[in-house]
Amino acid sequence: MSRSEREKGARGEREVAAILRAHGFECERTPNSGGLQVKGDLAGSFPAHVEVKFQETARPWAYWEQASNEAPIGLMPVVAFRRKRSPWLAIVKLEDLAELMARQS
């Protein structure tokens, strides 16, 4: 992976962390983008395993496979992704989304 790709990934992680913080969560980037024992790109006060992808070509199935395989038991796998000049989107299981929506009603 080139330096510019690493920097773009780190920028994406900072952007997603800022969004989560703006909604009241404690959130930090994990060391080495989850390359050590702590998996996932972000850690904080939320019950989710978050993978961040800032790429021009979306590969949602590959993203989902990584997030769901690495998520510890009890943490919801979430993929936050976007390309340049696009909003951040998230991939979650429909059952998890339904549960979150039910909590709001």
> What does R_g of the chain's alpha carbons equal in angstroms?
13
> pLDDT, tens digit, for every residue of 1-12?
789 888 999 999
User: For strand 76-82 and strand 89-91, is the pairing parallel, antiparallel, or unpaired?
Assistant: antiparallel
Question: Residue 53 is part of which domain span?
Answer: 3-104
Q: What is the pLDDT of residue 33?
A: 56
Q: What is the pLDDT of residue 31?
A: 79
> pLDDT, tens digit, for every residue of 58-94?
999 999 999 999 999 999 999 999 999 999 999 999 9
Domain containing 51 — which CATH number?
A: 3.40.1350.10
DSSP secondary structure of 50-63: EEEEE-SS--HHHH
Burial class (CB in 10 A: 0-12, 13-18, 19+), 55: middle
Contact 17, 29 (CB under 8 A): yes
Count of structural domains, the chain: 1
Q: What is the pLDDT of residue 105?
A: 78
pTM confidence score: 0.89
> pLDDT, tens digit, for every residue of 12-54?
999 999 999 999 999 999 976 545 566 789 999 999 999 999 9
